[in-house]
Amino acid sequence: MTMTGDIEFPETQLLDRLNEAWQSITDLAITVNEDHPSDADLAVVDDLRDRVGDIQGSLDDARRLLPRTTPLAEVSEANRLYWMHLRAFRPVYELRRAARGRGREWQTWVGGVELAVARCESPLTALDGALIQRVGFSDGPGFTRTQHRHGGSRE
């Protein structure tokens, strides 16, 4: 970690936070794709796999763009997908409903997925903060300080 005194450079902080978010999503992908029950051929599971892959892809794109440019759109998309498709009530309900009555293996897997999803929140939130800090330091184009993690505006 590159530091001057007690102040971390925004670019280094952003890269560190991006790598942490990517690792948490990668851990989630392992849980979803490799630890699933043997009979996990359901649309809700396929959708979960797709959304996790999409988030991972957005974060991969963001990692490729640094340090040449600030990956605003890529990080915003990863956060949008996370909140809409992994943390929202409907996808969580659908996954729990699919697991109901399918036995202990399913219940354990869904619990593990939910824990892995929750572990992604802090790294993604920290990534948002680092992105805002970097843009604030560089006054990057196309970004207002009123934007928040869901892609909207507080204005």
Give one word for 92, left, alpha or beta, with left for phi > 0 and alpha for psi -120 to 50: alpha
CA dist., res. 19 & res. 130, Å (int): 12
Task: List the Cα angle 140/59/24 in 5-degree steps.
Answer: 125
CA dist., res. 134 & res. 116, Å (int): 28
Helices in the chain by DSSP H: which ranges?
10-34, 43-65, 72-85, 89-99, 104-138
Q: How far is CA 148 from CA 87, 122, 154, in A?
A: 16, 15, 8
Q: pTM to 2 decimals?
A: 0.79
| Overall average pLDDT of the 112-127 stretch | 96
Residue 94 — very low, low, confident or very high, per pLDDT cuts 50/70/90?
Answer: very high
Contact criterion met (CB below 8 Å) for 42 and 98: yes
Instruction: Look at residue 139 and tell me whether its pLDDT is greater than 80.
Output: no
Instruction: Look at residue 9 and tell me whether its pLDDT is greater than 90.
Output: no
